[in-house]
Structure 1
Amino acid sequence: MSQAATPQLTFRAVVLAIVLAMVLAAANAYLGLFAGLTIATAIPAAVVSMGILRLLGGGTILENNIVQTGASAGSSIAAGVIFTIPALVIMGYWPDFKYWWVLGIAGLGGLLGVLFSVPLRRSMIVEDPLPFPEGKAAAEVLKAGDNPGPGLKILALSGAIGALVKLGAASGLKMIPDAWAQAAYLGSGRVIGYIGTNLSPALLGVGYIVGLNVGIVVLSGAVLSWHIAIPLYHAFFLGSDPALAQSIATAPAADAAFAIWGAKIRYLGVGTMLVGGVWTLFSLRNSLVSGIKSGFAAARKSTGKVEIAETERDLPMKWMLIALVAFVVPLWALYHAIVGLWGVSLTMTVIMIVAGFLFVSVSGYLAGLIGSSNNPVSGITISTILFASAVLVLLLGRDSPIGAVAAIMIGAVVCCAAAVGGDNLQDLKAGYLVGATPWKQQLMLAIGAFSCALIMAPVLNLLAHAYGIGAATPEHPQSLAAPQATLMASVAKGLFGGQLPWNMIAVGGVIGAVIIAIDEWLKSRGARFRVPVLAAAIGIYLPLELMVPIFLGGLIAHLVERYHKVKADDEEARDRVHRPGVLFSAGLITGEALMGIAIAIPIVVSANADVLALPESFHFNQWIGLLVLAVVGWLLYRTGRKGEVAAKPPAGG
Structure 2
Amino acid sequence: MPDKHLTIRALITGILLGAALAPCNLYSGLKIGWSFNVSIIALLVASGFWALLDRLRPGSALTIGEGNIAQTAASSSANIISGGLVAPIPALAILTGSNLPAGQLIVWVFAVSFLGIWVAWYLRDSLILRSGLAFPTGRATAETLVEIFDRGREAALKLRLLLASACVAGGLKWLDTGWLPLPRPSLGFSLPGMGQVAGFGVISAKNLTFTLDPSLMLAGFGAIIGFRAGVSLLLGSILSWGLLGPWGLYAGFVTPGEADPDAVWFASMIEWLLWPGVALMVGSALTKFVLQAWESRRRAGEGMSEGAGDGDSLMRFAGLVLATALVMIAQVVLFGIHWLMAALAVPIAFVLAMVASRVVGETGIPPIGAIGKVSQLGTGIMAPGEMTSNLIGANVAGGAAGQSADLLNDFKAGQAIGAPPRFQVIAQMFGILTGSLVGSLVYLRLIPDPQGMLITEEWPAPAVATWKVVAETLGHGLSSVPESALWAVAIGGSVGVAAALLERRSHPVWLPSMPALGLAMVIPASLSITMFFGSLIGRLIERWSPTVAQRFLIAAASGLIAGESLVGVARALLGVVG
Give the TM-score, by structure 1 length: 0.79
Q: How does 1:423-438 map to 2 (within 5 A)?
A: 423-438=406-421
Q: Are 1:218 and 2:233 matched, yes or no?
A: yes
Stretch of structure 1 that moved more, 362-371 or 275-284: 275-284
Which of 375, 378, 381 is 2:372 aligned to?
381
Whether the aligned pair in 1 keeps the contact of 2:220 and 2:560 (CA below 8 Å) is yes
Deviation at 1:340, TM superposition (A): 4.7
Tell whether the 8 Å contact from 1:133 to 1:369 is kept in structure 2 after alignment. yes
2:104 counterpart SS class = helix
Secondary structure, counterpart of 2:380 in structure 1:
helix
> Where do residues 247-396 of structure 1 align in structure 2 (5 Å cutoff)?
251-253=259-261, 255=263, 257-258=265-266, 261-286=269-294, 294=302, 296-297=304-305, 299-300=306-307, 302=308, 313=310, 316-337=312-333, 340=336, 344-350=338-344, 352-371=345-364, 374-393=365-384
- In the alignment, residue 368 of structure 1 is paired with which amino acid? G
Alignment match, 1:480: 459
CA gap of 1:258–1:340, structure 2 versus 1, over 3 A, is closer
Q: Which runs of 5+ in 2 are unaligned?
A: 54-58, 196-201
| Deviations 1:598-634, CA, capped at 9 Å, x for gaps | 112331222xxxxxxxxxxxxxxxxxxxxxxxxxxxx
Partner of 2:198: none
**C-alpha spacing 1:51/1:291, structure 2 compared with 1 (3 Å):** farther
2:396 corresponds in structure 1 to: 413
Matches within 5 A, 1:79-90: 79-81=82-84, 82-90=86-94
CA deviation after TM superposition for structure 1 residue 415, in Å: 1.4
Shift of residue 382, structure 1, vs aligned partner: 1.4
Aligned residue for 1:432, secondary structure, equals helix
Deviation at 1:26, TM superposition (A): 1.2
CA distance in 1, matches of 2:524, 2:299: 38
Q: Name 2:215's counterpart in structure 1.
A: 200
Q: Secondary structure at the match of 2:60?
A: coil
135-144 vs 434-443, greater mean Cα deviation:
434-443
Deviations 1:548-590 (A, max 9, x none): 11112211221122123x5xxxxxx7xx843411111111111
**C-alpha spacing 1:291/1:117, structure 2 compared with 1 (3 Å):** farther
CA offset at residue 282 of structure 1?
2.3
- Partner Cα separation in structure 2 for residue 252 and residue 604 of structure 1: 29
Alignment pair present for 1:9 and 2:24: no
Tell me the distance in 2 between the aligned counterparts of 1:339 and 1:257: 34
Q: Secondary structure at the match of 1:186?
A: strand
Equivalent residue number for residue 524 of structure 1: 505
- More deviation in 516-525 or 255-264? 255-264
Distance 1:99 1:290 in 2: 48
Asked if the contact 2:18–2:73 (Cα under 8 Å) also holds between the matched residues in 1, the reply is yes
Shift, 1:265, TM fit: 2.3
Q: How many residues align?
A: 555
Q: 1:570 is matched with which residue? A: none
Which SS does the other structure have where 1:8 is aligned?
coil
Aligned partner letter, 1:226: W
Cα deviation, 1:414-443, whole Å, max 9, x if unaligned, reads: 211111111111112222223322222222
Contact 2:68 2:145 (8 Å CA) reproduced: yes
Q: What one-letter code is carried by the residue in structure 2 that aligns with 1:449?
A: I
Of the candidates 555, 570, 574, which is equivalent to residue 598 of structure 1? 570
Is the alpha carbon distance of 1:384 and 1:524 closer, same or farther for their aligned partners in structure 2, counting shifts above 3 Å?
Answer: same
For residue 36 of structure 1, what is the amino acid of its counterpart?
A: G
Do the aligned residues in 1 keep the contact of 2:221 with 2:531 (CA within 8 Å)? yes
- Higher mean alpha-carbon deviation, 185-194 vs 83-92, is at 185-194
Partner SS for 2:212: strand
2:173 matches 1:173: no
Give the percent of matched residue pairs that are identical in Structure 1 and Structure 2: 25
> C-alpha distance in 1, partners of 2:99/2:187?
36
- Structure 1: how far apart are the matches of 2:297 and 2:425? 22
What are structure 1's unaligned runs of at least 5 residues? Answer: 303-311, 567-572, 607-653
Change (3 A) 1:408 1:263: closer
Residues 1:164 and 2:136 are matched in the alignment: no
1:277, distance to aligned residue in structure 2 (A): 4.4
CA displacement at 1:39 relative to structure 2:
0.5
Q: 1:17-28, aligned counterparts within 5 Å?
A: 17-28=14-25
Change (3 A) 1:319 1:375: same
CA RMSD after TM alignment: 2.8
Cα–Cα, structure 1 residues 18 and 182, in superposed 2: closer, same or farther, change >3 Å?
A: same
Aligned-partner SS, 2:211: strand
